[in-house]
Amino acid sequence: MSSDDERWMRRALALAERGRYTVSPNPLVGCVIVRDGVTAGEGWHERRGGPHAEIVALRAAGTEAKGACAYVTLEPCAHTGLTGPCVQALLDAEVSRVVVGVADPWPVAAGGAALLRASGVEVAMGVLHAEAQRQNEVFFHTVATGRPFVVLKLATSLDGRIAAADGTSRWLTGEKARERAHALRAEVDAVVVGSGTVLADDPRLTVRLAGYEGPQPLRVVLDRRGRVPAHARVHDALILAEPDPAAVLARLWEREVRSVLVEGGARVAGAFLAAGLVDKVVAHVAGLLLGAGGVPALRGDGIHTLAAAPRLRIDGVENAGPDLIVTLYPERSPSKTGEP
């Protein structure tokens, strides 16, 4: 792997990010066509049913694609779905080399690298593999598990409370952290809360980012006791009576939901964690203490011994104004999906 390969793959990864809010349930993909060290064309996959990244880049490159190198973040598809196979488009354009970030884990579309090699095209696999797989963590997860990827978002005080003793919780964190919360909503297919959160905060659960024009997530309320009032801002949301997180995810999967943001409250968060159905935690931590009278972030049966506590690996810590945002992943056996 050369420094040039890494440079161009980083550009392809940056292009893929432009589809972050619109591409679901498809994966993020970026492509750069390079000829004689210069960009000939580039593109990204914007939305389901639209042209794939390779097609956009090849159209931009035109005849300059002949003999060029294509950098693609995800292995070019080898099947015909809503669009044609990208492998054939690359062969028709007569590219001489294809550099791939990560192999496609979906059996229906996989095998593009082998077809390219069989046709005499040089293929390099696994350039910035870890970055490429992380970018599509939702896609890799759903292919491997057949259920939505679940992000648990917590907004707590330094001592792990989500509200004061009198129930007040607005605003626990500052403006920058709340903006990041809206970005999280924009990245998922559905936002899930419990009826208690609706009664306490009357949230809208919508994305309200400046200039945002992408789709709104499906709003889901877990309300087995029928407590959501008709005047609630989410009265027209999907109301589910299932208390079982696995059943909730199964229902959402049927609606082509591939990623879920669990925003609250404490019992819902505790239930998803207890069921082992949280794949990522994003904790917004405010620099204040609410004491023993505050409302804890998690409710349920609790953990009775330290050995039974789920372990989380801290992946990143960043400042958001006066608050901290900590990203964590459950410590599980690593998946082999996508290895080069």
Domain boundary among 135, 159, 179: 135
| 36-45 average pLDDT score | 96
What average pLDDT does this structure show over 65-71? 97
Among left, alpha and beta (phi > 0; psi -120 to 50; other), residue 321 is left
Q: Is residue 335 part of a domain?
A: no
Same domain, 92 and 202: no
Q: What is the CA radius of gyration of the chain?
A: 22
Does residue 182 belong to any structural domain of this protein? yes
Residue 340 lies in a domain: no
Catalytic residue among 42, 46, 54, 263: 54
Say yes or no: 220 and 112 in one domain: no
Whether 281 is covered by a domain: the verdict is: yes
| Per-residue confidence band for 85, with pLDDT thresholds at 50, 70 and 90 | confident
For position 3, what pLDDT does the model report?
85
- Please check whether residues 192 and 89 belong to one and the same domain: no
Q: What CATH number is given to the structural domain containing 71?
A: 3.40.140.10
Residue 108 shares a structural domain with residue 189: no
In a domain, residue 86? The reply is: yes
Contact 283, 263 (CB under 8 A): no
pTM: 0.90
The residue among 163, 199, 206, 192 whose CA lies nearest residue 271 is: 192
Residue 163 structural domain: 147-330
Residue 338, in any domain of the structure? no
Q: Which of 76, 104, 135 is the last residue of a domain?
A: 135
CATH of the domain at 199: 3.40.430.10
Question: What confidence tens digit (pLDDT) does each residue in 233-274 have?
Answer: 998 999 999 899 999 999 999 999 999 999 988 899 999 999
Q: Which two tokens stand for residue 256?
A: 């082509």
Q: Are residues 202 and 300 in the same domain?
A: yes
One domain for residues 33 and 171: no
Q: pLDDT (tens digit, 9 = 90+) per residue, 288-339? A: 888 888 888 888 877 778 887 888 999 999 999 999 999 999 987 444 344 4
| Paired strand residues for 285 | 156, 324
* Residue pair 197/263 in contact by the 8 Å Cβ criterion: yes
Q: Which of 68, 103, 135 is the last residue of a domain?
A: 135
- Same domain, residue pair 209 and 267: yes
Distance CA 24, CA 182 (A): 17
Q: Tell me whether residue 140 is in a domain.
A: no
Instruction: State yes or no: cis peptide before 51, omega within 30 of 0.
Output: no
Please indicate whether residue 339 is annotated as part of the active site. no
* DSSP, residue by residue, 122-187: EEEE-TTHHHHHHHTHHHHHHHHHSS-EEEEEEEE-TTSEEE-TTS--TTSS-HHHHHHHHHHHHH
* Number of independent structural domains in the chain: 2
**What is the rounded average pLDDT of the residues 199-224?**
92
Indicate the angle between helix axes 53-61 and 3-16, nearest 10 degrees.
110
- Please tell me the predicted confidence (pLDDT) of residue 1: 60
Contact 167, 196 (CB under 8 A): no
On whether both 169 and 224 belong to a single domain, the answer is yes
Query: Which among 131, 112, 132, 133 has a CA at the least distance from the CA of 121?
Result: 112
Looking at the structure, tell me whether residues 213 and 272 fall in a common domain: yes
Residue 167 located in a structural domain:
yes
Let me know whether 318 and 172 are in one domain: yes
Query: Are residues 168 and 281 both part of a single domain?
Result: yes
Q: Same domain for 94 and 186?
A: no
Beta-carbon count within 10 A of 163 CB: 23
- Give residue 169's pLDDT band: very low, low, confident or very high (50, 70, 90): confident
